[in-house]
Amino acid sequence: MINILFTANSQRWAQYEKPLRHALDDTGLPYVLSQKFTDPETVDYLIYAPKGSVSDFTPFIRAKAVLGLWAGVEAVVDNETLTIPLTRMVDHGLSQGMVEWVTGHVLRHHLGMDRHISGQDGQWRDYIPPLARDRHVTVLGLGALGGACARALAALNFNVTGWSRSRKTISGINCLSGGAGLDQALVSAEILVLLLPLTPATENLLNNARLSKMPRGGVIINPGRGALIDDDALLACLDNGHLNHATLDVFRTEPLPENHPFWAHNKVTVTPHIASETRPDTASQVIADNISRSEKGLALRYLVDRNAGY
């Protein structure tokens, strides 16, 4: 019997229990799925989300893997008690949700929709945007989510540049890497999309010096991680007119405090971490597939590189 511990909170359990059981049933494996086991030494797999029931993995001496429900793993990757394999969530539902949110907001800013939506004041605004082929969009981060968004934007005929820490090759995307590549990616970024993981190397990546490399009037869209951007530097670039707008879905503190200057700034759009949510149906299939692979002696998918932090 395979014992599987679901460590996320009770609200997540209510969302995930049924689809997880369906997905696990489809594997044909004998299993017990529960929020609690009397003896942690009997647990084979842990399904993990931050702020759940487990932060010390030491008692789980039989466990073969910790299977994360989220794409981001910064809350657990440095946990010294976690010595067994850790996987992150990569599933088509998560990717599709992110693609829809990112392309929607890129098109919003590309077309200048805000000036018409908020400008119903009798003024005839005859702004005509360039065609997508003449708009330069840069995506920082070319992992599963960033790569999917870059491809979708290229399919809409945007001129897309992508940057990643390690060299990537994606058809139709100008792929850059390294420090010089980052500068080059920013210089052309009329619209900048952030989909990097949060690591010590990427925290405050967009400081004043790097934000200033963007073209005047540029737009930032951040559905990645809040700490990728220096908040004060971003506000300064918005206030001095170098940047035209920032659409932010993620923040250093969530929910975003009521007194945070982002709320009242006329060049900032705040969305409440909704760019993409892990979907229970598709995520459950990924979890079940990885457990099945492990039980067959196959390599786990989406293993986290502890040294890289993602």
Q: Which residues are catalytic?
A: 225, 273
Which 3-state string (H, E, C) describes 256-297? CCCCCHHHHCCCEEECCCCCCCCCHHHHHHHHHHHHHHHHCC
Contacts with 38 (C-beta within 8 Å, 6 or more apart), sequence order? none
C-alpha dihedral (286, 292, 294, 297), degrees to nearest 10: -140
Contact 231, 207 (CB under 8 A): no
For residues 309 and 145, what is the distance between their CA atoms, to the nearest angstrom? 16
DSSP at 37: -
Of 110, 160, 107, which is closest to residue 137 (Cα–Cα)? 160
Q: Are 94 and 145 in contact (CB under 8 A)?
A: yes
Backbone angles phi, psi at 152, to 5 degrees: -65, -40
Amino acid, res. 156: L
Angle between helices 92-111 and 144-155 in degrees, nearest 10: 50
Length of the chain: 310
